[in-house]
Each structure stands twice: as structure tokens, then as C-alpha cells.
Amino acid sequence: MKKKTNHYLSYLLATLSMIFAIFLDQYTKLLAVENLKNQAPIDIIENVFQLHYLENRGAAFGILQNQKIFFVIIGIIILIVALFFYLKMPHERHFIPLRICLLLIASGAIGNMIDRIRLNYVIDFFYFELIDFPIFNVADIYVTLSAGLLIVLILFYYKEDDLEMLFKLFSRKKNKEQES
């Protein structure tokens, strides 16, 4: 019984964390609209970092402009995959970093999907002028940081046995579904 209660508490904490992360993303976008739209960019660090309002109808570097349905479908797929892996992941402390990555990826996907569905574009406002990096937002930070952390975890933290166990766990469930 205690184990099941811990799982419910874990899911509740995960849900609340995602709600907070999505709220933070949406709130910063609201602030960007209220304070940056139709305004000159604001230098935070001159020639290095700016707050620069952009209505992004495509992906990074301006590719795939005006492909709302495509991006919503991709967002839904990313969300489903991240949540599937999160729910199937063992409830061991060892896998908490991986679970956090999956929650951040899902939160970022939802944050940008809300914009695409509601506005037909994503609000971006962070700009690294020094390296002319594409303008981005908080949801993009979630996805980028968690993808980077996933790479580090896979390369340096998780052992081959951990990864094999995860692959077997996911493939075993898939094989059981196919046998039914």
C-alpha cells in the first residue's frame, strides 16, 4: 500500500511541477507581449543578450514557416512519447534525473503547443546577439536543457545495464501488447 501511495504522490508532484513549468513559460510570454511587443529590443548585456519580441511561425532558423498543423502533431507525439516513458519508468531514485528530463520535455512541448493552437505562432523573446542564436523562449530552454542532460546522463551517468533494463522493460511491454 505504501509503495502505491508513493507512486501517487510522485505522479502528483510531477503533475504540479509540469503545471508550474507551463505556467512559468506562459507567464513569461505574457510579459513579453505586454512589455516587448512593438518595442525596440532591450539590451540586457550590450551586444551579447537582448529581450527581443518575435512571433515565430516556424521552427529554429526560420524553417518550416506557417506549418501549424505539422508542429501541433509533432508536439502531441513528443508529449505522448515523453509521458509514456515517464509512466513506464521504474520508480527508483536512480531514474529521477531521467524522469525530470521527460517532464521538462513534455512541459516545453505543451508550452509551445498552447501558443501554436491559441495564436498560430510561438512567442519568443530571448536573443543571444553575440552569436546570433535564434530567438527562443522558456519552453525552448526546457527542451534544450533536458535534451542536453539526457545526453550527459546516457553517456556518463547510466550504466549499460541500466539502459538495457530500460530497453527490455519498454520492449517487453510492447511485445506483450502485440501478443494479445
Question: What pLDDT digit, counting tens, does each position of 21-65 carry?
Answer: 999 999 999 999 999 999 999 999 999 999 999 999 987 656 778
Q: 44 by DSSP, 3-state: which? A: strand
Q: Is the pLDDT of residue 111 over 90?
A: yes
The whole-number pLDDT of residue 101 equals 95
Q: CA angle 21-141-46, nearest 5°?
A: 120
So which residues are the catalytic ones?
A: 124, 140
| Range 135-139 average pLDDT | 96
* Predicted confidence band of residue 173 (pLDDT cuts 50, 70, 90): low
Calpha distance 42→36 (Å, rounded): 8
80 lies in which domain range? 2-179
Give the model confidence (pLDDT) of 79-97 as tens digits: 999 988 888 888 889 999 9
Q: Tell me the whole-structure pTM to 2 decimals.
A: 0.85
Count of domains observed in the chain: 1
Q: CA angle 88-91-96, nearest 5°?
A: 100
Calpha distance 108→31 (Å, rounded): 18
Which among 15, 17, 18, 37 is positioned nearest to 114, based on CA atoms? Answer: 18
